[in-house]
Amino acid sequence: MVSTQSQAKVKELLQSGQKIEAIQFLCKEHNLSLPDANEWIQYLAGETSRPGAQPATISSSLIRAG
């Protein structure tokens, strides 16, 4: 989970056009991978309703196993 303070910092960076710096900040401060940091950026920029909100795909073999 990204702290409220970090979210505010990322929003400031995004508002000033510093998307790469925002991603680097999340990676460094919260040990996030690039894809995870990018999901948080999309969320904080208002592009998704929550981090990792992309639809999940489930393998048909997993569906049959159930």
Encode pLDDT of 10-30 as tens digits: 999 999 999 999 999 999 999
Average pLDDT over residues 21-44: 95
Residue 38 pLDDT exceeds 90 = yes
Using pLDDT thresholds of 50, 70 and 90, give the confidence band for residue 1: confident
Supply the pLDDT for residue 55.
43
Neighbours of 26 (CB within 10 A): 26
The pLDDT score that the predictor gives to residue 64 is: 53
Q: Buried b / exposed e across 40-52, counting CB within 10 Å, b at 16+?
A: bbbbbeeeeeebe
Give the DSSP H/E element, type plus range, for residue 22. helix 19-30
Closest CA to 37 of 52, 48, 49: 52
Q: How far apart are CA 4 and CA 10, in angstroms?
A: 10
pLDDT at 43: 93
